[in-house]
Homo-oligomer: A and B are copies of this chain.
Amino acid sequence: MLSSTLCRCGKEGFYLRRHSGEILCKRCFVKSVEKIVLKTIKRDKLIIPDDQVMIALSGGKDSVVLIHILSKIERSYDTALFAITVDEGLRGYREEGLGLAKRVAEKLGIKHHVITFKEAYGHSLEQICKFAEEKGVGLLGCTFCGILRRRLLNDAAMKMGATKVATGHNLDDEAQTILINILRGDISRLARLGTKPIRLREGFIPRVKPLRYVPEREIATYAYLKGYPLYERECPYVRASLRDEVRDLLNNIEARHPGTKFAIVKGADRISDLLKEKIEESEVGRCSRCGAPSGREVCRMCEVLSMLGIDGSFINHLAE
């Protein structure tokens, strides 16, 4: 029962924000999303003056909205922005996102780079997945794609002098990850998940998530209002995963109890704030193979490469 269908500014309502009951016109909706992002950046000091921010730009709606909003604040923050797209080499999947990423960056006047699995690891993800199948490695493609992609982003950020890596993770992503960590009892990861940039450790560039408090639905709506195409091609290697189940569960609960996703993320923030000092940061040494900083004897990238029978000896630029 809505007593009015008008925005508080008097214009016709366009968006009903269910968890707060607000009705927003198009203009107030756009402003409100931007305000949430700016508030997050300020409050948690995600970006500070003189930061060199590398945006991970896949071409999907989240990263497109992220670069759009960051480009608006670039000047007032006196930061330098540049974007990077990881091309893992999946034909019929990556091309569209890559093209979109290029066009968006160009339109916004932001420098854009592409880095490829093929160049970094000697093989495309397509080939890597074939190796995994042949070797009977019982891991989802997403697992090693994630490990190899994160390493690539960090290496690129190091080389290009970035001081922050910004990713487009939204409220839904974060709530899902929190729940998955709870289901796995992985409290250390939960503690590291908070919004604030993880304290700088040599060799790791802090990752920040300015869209962490914006629901996926609002990002999609923002992208639509800004005229960006909704590119949502699914990775051909996606399999039914725990994340899918958790996503469905959360959407079902959110529909009946609006605000659940927020409650989860805010709750995890409190846990993270309280636990960060307590959880012993594992002493960060260096991977014995590639020399990258790692809490393990052999870093996860080297582990994955050796599982797949890929020679990683040429990857030594971080040992320098």
What is the interface of chain A, defined by CB distance below 8 A to chain B?
Answer: 178-179, 181-187, 190, 242, 245, 249, 252-253, 257, 260, 262-268, 270-271, 274-275, 278-279
Contact = CB atoms under 8 A, between A and B. Distances in A.
A279 B273 CA distance: 11
Given A242-B253, A271-B275, A274-B275, A263 B185 contact: yes
Contacts of A249: 245, 249
A278 B274 contact: yes
Q: Do most interface residues of chain A lie in helix, strand or loop, or is the interface mixed?
A: helix
**How many copies altogether?**
2
A203 B178 CA distance: 36
Contacts of A274: 274-275, 278-279
B263 A184 contact: yes
B271 A187 contact: yes
Contacts of A182: 178-179, 182, 264, 267-268
A187 B267 contact: yes
A267 B178 contact: no
Contact of A245 (B181, B252, B263, B268): B252
Nearest to A260: B183
Given A182-B182, A182-B264, A187-B271, 17 more contacts: A178-B182, A179-B179, A179-B182, A182-B267, A183-B260, A184-B263, A185-B263, A185-B265, A185-B270, A186-B267, A242-B253, A242-B257, A245-B253, A271-B275, A274-B274, A274-B275, A275-B275
